[in-house]
Amino acid sequence: MSRIFITGSADGLGQMAARLLVDAGHQVVLHARSDARAEQALKAVPQAETALVADLSSIAATAELAQQVNRLGRFDAVIHNAAVGYQEPRRIATVDGLSHVFAVNTLAPYILSALIGKPKRLVYLSSALHRSGDASLDDLAWERRPWRGTAAYSDSKLHDALLAFALARRWPQVLSNALEPGWVATKMGGPGAPDDLLAAPETQVWLAVSDEPAATVSGAYFYHMKPRETHPAVHDVAVQERLLEACAGFSGIRLPD
């Protein structure tokens, strides 16, 4: 039996992954952005150990969430599922003055990765849209560029893949991988999304707990439990390091060795 923490698991793919894990006998800790959402999460997955509350758009709240997780003890895996989508029609500034999309989708998983005690496995949800992300990493917080929600989302999903590969390289004792679940009919994906919703949570569950040789790898990118090509920059150590340095600058938090 494994113990897994899943961000953004009040609904959508995070909740679906949690259900698959508890049904298989694993121990799961959920996360939601508010008390009401946490209550909703626990009603949906009553076998879960607990649900933690934090607004991932806040650097301070995200750092406190990491401490909440650490107070619960060690975890075998962390699934970085939480994200906001590309529907935001304008740049929404967080309490820290950052783009909401960058804060939740990029900086929060960086902070949690840096501060949560190293698990055996890290799983980052990316997207097929990461292939159109901007690998220059210029203006990460969207302070100078004209706002384009889809581009901001694509950038953030490129960042998630970069985080996964950077930590696979930096932390050889941890299995760190990224995946795309497909364009599916969740609240974010919309009712017309064409991919298989039931298959969408399976890869992250597989990477978090499976002992199959294909799942016990590190620095890989998957779609439906099969390797898939990434944006070329994902493999570029210099780009990985620039992202880590930028996230450290924004958050004031550095990755441990």
Write out pLDDT tens, residues 164-211.
999 999 999 999 999 999 765 466 655 565 566 678 899 999 999 999
Q: Are strands 77-80 and 226-227 parallel, antiparallel or unpaired?
A: unpaired
Q: Is position 187 annotated as part of the catalytic site?
A: no
- The reported pLDDT for the residue numbered 185 is 43
Give the pLDDT score at 193. Answer: 54
The reported pLDDT for the residue numbered 194 is 53
Question: Is residue 138 in a domain?
Answer: yes
**For residues 96 and 165, what is the distance between their CA atoms, to the nearest angstrom?**
27
pTM metric for this prediction: 0.95
Gap between the Cα atoms of 65 and 112, Å rounded: 8
Q: Token pair for residue 178?
A: 């990224």
Which tokens in the block code for residue 253?
């938090």
- pLDDT of the residue at 186: 62
Q: Is residue 87 part of a domain?
A: yes
Domain span holding position 156: 3-251
Weakest-pLDDT range from 101-110, 191-200, 217-226: 191-200
How far are the Cα atoms of 15, 17, 153 from residue 21, in angstroms, in the given order?
Answer: 10, 6, 28
Domain assignment present for residue 26? The answer is: yes
Catalytic residue among 86, 110, 124, 153: 153
Q: Assign residue 64 the CATH number of its domain.
A: 3.40.50.720
Query: What CA–CA distance (Å, rounded) separates 153 from 174?
Result: 27
What are the backbone dihedrals phi and psi of residue 78, each rounded to the nearest 5 degrees, phi first?
A: -125, 125
> How many domains does the chain contain in total?
1
In a domain, 110, yes or no: yes
* Whether pLDDT at 28 is above 60: yes
118 catalytic residue (yes or no): no
Q: What is the mean pLDDT of the chain?
A: 95
In a domain, 42, yes or no: yes
Active-site entry in 86, 124, 157, 221:
157
Distances (CA, A) of 199 to 13, 43, 127: 10, 23, 15
Please report whether residue 257 resides in a domain.
Answer: no
Averaged pLDDT, 75-86: 95
| Secondary structure (H, E, C), the chain | CCEEEECCCCCHHHHHHHHHHHHCCCEEEEEECCHHHHHHHHHHCCCCCEEEECCCCCHHHHHHHHHHHHHCCCCCEEEECCCCCCCCCCCCECCCCCEHHHHHHHHHHHHHHHHCCCCCEEEEECCHHHHHCCCCCCCCCCCCCCCCHHHHHHHHHHHHHHHHHHHHHHCCCCEEEEEECCCCCCCCCCCCCCCCCCCCCHHHHHHHHCCCCCCCCCCCEEECCEECCCCHHHHCHHHHHHHHHHHHHHHCCCCCC
Domain membership of residue 222 (yes or no) is yes
Please indicate, yes or no, if residue 256 is contained in any of the structural domains. Answer: no
